[in-house]
Structure 1
């Protein structure tokens, strides 16, 4: 077959035309694909946006519809109603409920009878003021109004609250302050009675029965801990123990002089609570708060004088201003305080005698003197009861004997037992 130059040129042109058309078609297809992808991406974004917006709108509508019914069911609303007044202002209605418990009722009954007592003492002249003695507040405590008679109201408190006072001032529930008189005080029981004008006194304490208290029974302490800034403070607890005996150093010489019978409670009793009220759930006075063991390692250990023990002392203080007790007429020291050498050489005691009371001095003309007791006699028995120390001696003498009674005493003298009979006299006469 013969090929001419014109035919070859035409064929070449046709091939190029076909190639160009195919390339244009491919480019058009790719362009369409790019456009399609772009369109798909834009459509997805719009779809997501519309879908999210729709969810928000639906959620808001549901919340708006449910809010009124949920408001009364939310914890802590306690029947409070939430009312929308406008777009920027929401008010909450409150429902007040007055709570009345047995403790609240008891406190309401007794608290007005509890007062504050300020002890004002005389201060000696100092370098800057040598002209005259002045007075200043020495301390404060609490007291309980227990009786109104005529123009006087009587208050029981602790001896140590009023001891050494030049003046006494009572703060009442309404904050008013009135002068008080010391009617009588007794160091051995740590009780005192003072009086104030009865004008305006509306509440007096009701005495309960401390003998019927039970361990675990609820009690309430009312007083002024740490001073009058905390006037009328209330603490609650239980009777932790009955018939407790707590040794006391009365003259602060480091030697225990007495053992006080008390109620133990875990109701908080602090400085300033002394003389305040311990009441039962009926609002009755069952104890006079007296002391607390003050130690960093001790908590919840407070004490009160049982009201049944306090009443005879209160009555005697009110009538005579003092508690008269029988006396032997001796000075004494516990045998345990005497070194072993003197027990053997001076007192000549048998080795088995390790407890008792040594007579260091006999008052002339006293019951002991009349009965023939001598210095260095060691008392070991009274009325058939063993006497192991001065506290036991005083307990027997003050709690079981009266003036005029006969006391049978057994002593060791120069290693031998000697018996004597004493007719007890008034301690005030010694």
Structure 2
């Protein structure tokens, strides 16, 4: 047994005196204070770093958001804060059927000024001044002349006629011919500066409600080439005309009715369809406070024979029968039975209200209250159809066969047409 290695036994600590315990406790308290002070100093540094970071981030956010926030404030001008922004503009050229038609015809529509001699009261000298204005349509070029159709009343009693073209140039015009009965006239100018000629359409194929365009110079040359659009309101209209202003109706003009605006100065201008074809010569508007959109135009199919004759002869040698007319539909049923004594099945025709003594009708044996129902084998229902047949298909000197009802009996008459030269 080796006794040299002593077995180590746990050392037993001797108990501390009261003084030692107090000193130890004070030492521990002092150590705890130092530790607490150190920890507190470290936290302040962390708080400072965190706060500084927050300030920096907030400033960056405000710098980024400030322009949009300012733009939302009442009374602020966003354009000042955003100088690079500009208003956008879109240029779109719109083309329609109406614009195409107008482009084709507009330069063929001209201004017409009626010039007359006016005496000066003070020096007793005469000067030529504008007495009125209207419109016209260039429809033909022949050699060095261009022909223009307009209204009779536009050039009536003119000592001189002046034409204003689309480019503003002016030409002195020559009167070729005029016809009071259809309110049509033809004038001519030099073709040197003429660039556009209107094409004749077919007014017989027009449909009620079809779109039409009026081109002219309402209220004078200040509104040169004005365009209005509308529809065909009615066909085969008959408008009474007092041509010599004696208070009595002398003529029933056949016209187209349209709601396209036609005002003073539009007279003689063009009424065209969407194909750009001339289908009417604007003539008049009923001007009353209670009437709106009621304009009239001479159908081109009725105008063409007149235009051709005016070109050729300078006047219309119009065949005449020598009678006054009234549509049967305008006669009350009582008088149809008692005075005219026509069969009940006869509902249309033209009543002869007066026979001029010595006229073609008088010589043929026509009587007052005869009812015309047929001409040259064609049924006649009204005065418009009668005039169409008489003026479009007959000439002075031609024979005309017609059937009339006279007191219930059908009578056949034959007459030789003469020239109608007076009212």
TM-score under structure 1 normalisation?
Answer: 0.67
User: Structure 2: how far apart are the matches of 1:205 and 1:335?
Assistant: 36
Q: 8 Å contact 2:267–2:283 — kept in the other structure?
A: yes
Distance change >3 Å, CA 208–CA 372, structure 1 → 2: closer
Runs of 5+ in structure 2 lacking a partner? 1-57, 73-77, 329-336, 342-349
2:122 to 123, 128, 131: 128
Specify the SS of the correspondent of 1:242: strand
The answer for the alignment partner of 2:224 in structure 1 is 231
Distance change >3 Å, CA 391–CA 253, structure 1 → 2: farther
Specify the SS of the correspondent of 1:362: coil
Mapped pair 1:154 → 2:147:
yes
**Structure label with greater radius of gyration:** 2
Q: What RMSD over aligned residues (CA atoms) do the two structures have, in Å?
A: 4.2
Summarize deviations over 1:181-233 as a string: whole Å, max 9, x none. 11111222221111100002111112222222222222111110111110000
1:378 to 368, 379, 390: 368
User: Structure 2: how far apart are the matches of 1:259 and 1:423?
Assistant: 23
**Length, aligned pairs only:** 343
User: Structure 2: how far apart are the matches of 1:202 and 1:327?
Assistant: 40
Q: 8 Å contact 2:373–2:381 — kept in the other structure?
A: no
Q: 8 Å contact 2:111–2:136 — kept in the other structure?
A: yes
User: Structure 1: how far apart are the matches of 2:381 and 2:211?
Assistant: 36
Specify the SS of the correspondent of 2:309: helix
Distance change >3 Å, CA 96–CA 316, structure 1 → 2: same
Distance change >3 Å, CA 209–CA 66, structure 1 → 2: farther
Specify the SS of the correspondent of 2:339: coil
Mapped pair 1:104 → 2:109:
no
Mapped pair 1:274 → 2:274:
no
User: Structure 2: how far apart are the matches of 1:122 and 1:103?
Assistant: 41
Deviation, structure 1 residue 401: 3.8
1:63 to 56, 64, 68: 68
Specify the SS of the correspondent of 1:161: helix
Matches within 5 A, 1:193-204: 193-204=186-197
Mapped pair 1:211 → 2:204:
yes
User: Structure 2: how far apart are the matches of 1:126 and 1:418?
Assistant: 63
Summarize deviations over 1:304-362 as a string: whole Å, max 9, x none. 1222222222122112212211134x5869899xxxxxxxxxxxxx9624995454753
Q: 8 Å contact 1:335–1:358 — kept in the other structure?
A: no
Q: 8 Å contact 2:355–2:362 — kept in the other structure?
A: no
User: Structure 2: how far apart are the matches of 1:105 and 1:389?
Assistant: 38
Distance change >3 Å, CA 269–CA 429, structure 1 → 2: closer
Specify the SS of the correspondent of 2:199: coil
Deviation, structure 1 residue 247: 2.2
Runs of 5+ in structure 1 lacking a partner? 1-52, 68-82, 337-349
TM-score under structure 2 normalisation?
Answer: 0.68
User: Structure 2: how far apart are the matches of 1:389 and 1:207?
Assistant: 27
Q: 8 Å contact 1:381–1:387 — kept in the other structure?
A: no
The answer for the alignment partner of 1:292 in structure 2 is 285
Specify the SS of the correspondent of 2:114: strand
Specify the SS of the correspondent of 1:352: helix
The answer for the alignment partner of 2:185 in structure 1 is 192
User: Structure 1: how far apart are the matches of 2:228 and 2:191?
Assistant: 28
2:253 to 260, 266, 275: 260
Distance change >3 Å, CA 126–CA 214, structure 1 → 2: same
Distance change >3 Å, CA 380–CA 134, structure 1 → 2: farther
User: Structure 1: how far apart are the matches of 2:352 and 2:172?
Assistant: 44
